[in-house]
């Protein structure tokens, strides 16, 4: 296997093939520094605390050696989709404790502590690209908030995608809590973010409503996306 990474693009080759088996046109976390790690792991629901035995051989890392022309690799255009929430206020990183989040974080709220982020064209916010997790924090969370102004009171369906766990609060009241982390089995979960992961029916009041989604991260990816399937009479902003 040969993995070529250049900027925000990557290509994976198998054997002696010069044609990529996989091309990633945009790496979600951008060009931040990091490291290369090889490991085996037990699925989240598999009993045991010792990783399976494994070995890796002939690892070679060649900085600044590309060996593939990425000039023709472009992101696929994403058509504008009505009802997508396109920006959020992200709160500070907190430690949520074990189990579902049933109450809003007790940390004081301030515009100085919140960061306004814009979603990708697909509606996805990669939280790990926007926030820095304190060293040593194994389980962490933030609140992704936005304001909805409704022309009249009524129930609206919000489609939600997230990783790993989410709790949705409307005007301070919890309405939903879900766990979509990667799970090898019992239950089998892919841990991939998409808008069909959950639906939350929001009893909006006329005027201003605040939506706060507390997103907890356990393993593999930290993000959120949301869309109203019928945005008629709604305006929303961070």
pLDDT for res 85: 96
pLDDT band at 19 (very low <50, low <70, confident <90, very high): very high
Is there a single domain that holds both residue 145 and residue 62?
no
- What pLDDT score does 205 carry? 98
Whose CA is closest to 230, among 152, 113, 117, 175?
152
pLDDT tens sequence across 91-103: 999 999 888 899 8
Instruction: Kindly state whether residues 101 and 219 are assigned to the same domain.
Output: yes
Last residue within a domain, chosen from 15, 47, 76: 76
What length does the chain have? 238
Please check whether residues 67 and 92 belong to one and the same domain. Answer: no
CA distance 86 to 4: 32
Domain end marker among 53, 76, 99: 76
Residues 20 and 120 in one domain: no
Highest mean pLDDT among 46-50, 51-55, 69-73, 142-146: 142-146
- DSSP category for residue 84: B
Q: Is residue 8 part of a domain?
A: yes
**How many secondary structure helices (H) and strands (E) does the chain include?**
1, 14
Half-sphere exposure of 191 (CA within 13 A, CB side): 15
Q: Indicate if 95 and 72 belong to the same structural domain.
A: no
Is 60 a member of any domain? yes
132, 225: one domain: yes
Instruction: State how many domains the chain has.
Output: 2
Question: What rounded mean pLDDT belongs to the chain?
Answer: 88
For 186-237, the pLDDT digits (tens) are 788 888 899 999 999 999 999 999 999 999 998 778 999 999 999 999 999 8
In a domain? residue 82: no
Residue-wise DSSP of 23-76: EES--TTTT------------TTSS-SSPPP---------TT---S--TT--PP
Domain-terminating residue out of 76, 96, 115: 76
| Cβ–Cβ under 8 Å, residues 90 and 129 | no
Residue 212 lies in a domain: yes
Confidence of residue 30 (pLDDT cuts 50, 70, 90): confident
pTM: 0.80
Answer for the pair 41, 184: CB distance below 8 angstroms, yes or no.
no
Tens of pLDDT, residue by residue over 134-174, are 888 888 999 999 999 999 999 999 999 999 999 999 999 99
Q: Please, which pLDDT band fits residue 117 given cuts at 50, 70 and 90?
A: very high
Could you tell me the residue range of the domain that residue 206 belongs to? Answer: 87-237
Instruction: Single out the residue of 129, 12, 170 nearest to residue 1, CA to CA.
Output: 12
């Amino acid at each position: 296997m040969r993995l070529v990474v250049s900027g925000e693009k990557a290509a994976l080759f198998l054997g002696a093939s010069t044609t990529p088996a996989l091309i990633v046109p945009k790496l979600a976390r951008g060009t931040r520094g990091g490291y290369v790690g090889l490991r085996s792991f037990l699925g989240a629901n598999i009993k045991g605390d010792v990783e399976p035995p494994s070995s890796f051989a002939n690892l070679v890392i060649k900085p600044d050696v590309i060996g593939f022309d990425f000039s023709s690799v472009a992101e696929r255009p994403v058509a504008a989709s009505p009802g997508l929430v396109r920006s959020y206020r992200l709160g500070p990183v907190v430690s949520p404790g074990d189990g579902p989040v049933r109450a809003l974080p007790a940390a004081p709220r301030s515009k100085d502590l919140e960061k306004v982020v814009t979603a990708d064209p697909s509606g996805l916010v990669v939280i790990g690209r926007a926030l820095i997790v304190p060293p040593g924090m194994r389980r962490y969370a933030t609140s992704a908030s936005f304001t909805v102004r409704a022309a009249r009171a009524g129930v609206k369906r919000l489609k939600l995608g997230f990783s790993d766990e989410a709790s949705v609060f409307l005007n301070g009241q919890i309405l939903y809590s879900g766990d979509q982390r990667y799970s090898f089995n019992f239950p089998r979960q892919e841990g991939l973010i998409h808008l069909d992961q959950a639906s939350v029916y929001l009893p909006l009041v006329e005027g201003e409503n605040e939506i706060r989604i507390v997103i907890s991260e356990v393993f593999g990816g930290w993000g959120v996306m949301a869309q109203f399937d019928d945005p008629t009479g709604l305006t929303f902003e961070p």
